[in-house]
Chain A
Amino acid sequence: MIDLNVQLLDEKRILISGIPAVLAAMLREVPEILELRDSPDARARLYPNPTTGNNTINQEWHQMTGPELRHLFVSAGETVTRDLTALTADKENAQAWQVAFPIEHVSAWMNALNQARLILGEVHKIDEVEMNRTDFDPQSAKHMAALRIHLLGYLLHLFVELDNTHEPENHI
């Protein structure tokens, strides 16, 4: 049973606790997944065209916004990679893991988790059908990618819920 929890530890820190071993392993893989962000498929998804048919606008757009977007994505990944070095055994549950980090890092966590999910989706050609799959063959790289996307998505959803508890006046 997953007892994953994202909560404010105090005014300055966030705690993710009850991280099951399988999710802890996936989190440790996030930095490696993010290194694939410059593969052609991942690039097309992370840096999409701003128009569906105007090549002039699209080219100018990528020149103008590409470096800034890449800096944002790389920076978020670096923040999460550093935070993950504090991943440790859960004090309340010997079977689980926990990690605490500054509250200002929440946006970076959401960004990096979503990047990893999108990159996995592009690299493994995950479509709507694969996302609706409920049985996962451990021998199938595609199935395991879909499972990773779901589990990382569950953690991302908990961050969104935490954000909802602070709407509308104070976004984390």
Chain B
Amino acid sequence: MAPPIETGQPGVIVIGETDTKDELSSAWNVIVHNDPINLMSYVTMVFMRVFGYPRPRAETLMMEVHNQGRSLVWSGGREQAEHYVHQLHSYQLLATMEKSAA
């Protein structure tokens, strides 16, 4: 988000729009990180529930988390990424979002 710009008028600021547009149009990645406690079967179930992935894809992503420490589980718009991260947090998975480098 762009920093607010002071206008000189009391109580009036302008929020920069350029960065906001960039952020909304950029792709964002949703990353799930490994933790020692969550069950592999539970993580698979969460991926199926949150993203609607079929079991084979959910299991592949779960194994990526388990073996590589993290997995990129979804990419797309920022608002949807925030929604998914919130959902994953509600299931107590360690999830973050980051702007895609691509």
Contact = CB atoms under 8 A, between A and B. Distances in A.
Contact of B82 (A50, A114, A117, A149): A50
Nearest to A56: B1
Contact of A65 (B35, B49, B86): B86
A130 B35 CA distance: 13
Nearest to A117: B37
Interface in A34-81: 46-52, 56-57, 65, 69, 72
Contacts of B1: 56-57
A39 to B, nearest CB: 16
Interface string B66-102: 0000000000000000100110011110111110000
Nearest to B42: A160
Interface range for B: 20 to 34
Contact of A160 (B45, B54, B92, B95): B45
Contacts of A48: 89, 94-96
A111 to B, nearest CB: 7
A69 B39 contact: no
Interface in A118-172: 118, 121, 126-128, 130-131, 149, 153, 156-157, 160-161, 163-164, 167-168, 171
Contacts of A114: 38, 42, 91-92
A156 B36 CA distance: 15
29 contacts: A47-B89, A48-B89, A49-B96, A50-B82, A50-B89, A50-B97, A56-B1, A57-B1, A72-B90, A110-B42, A111-B92, A114-B91, A118-B37, A121-B37, A126-B36, A127-B36, A131-B36, A153-B37, A153-B39, A156-B42, A157-B39, A157-B41, A157-B42, A160-B39, A163-B45, A164-B45, A167-B55, A168-B48, A168-B54
Interface of B: 1, 35-39, 41-42, 45, 48-49, 54-55, 82, 85-86, 89-92, 94-98
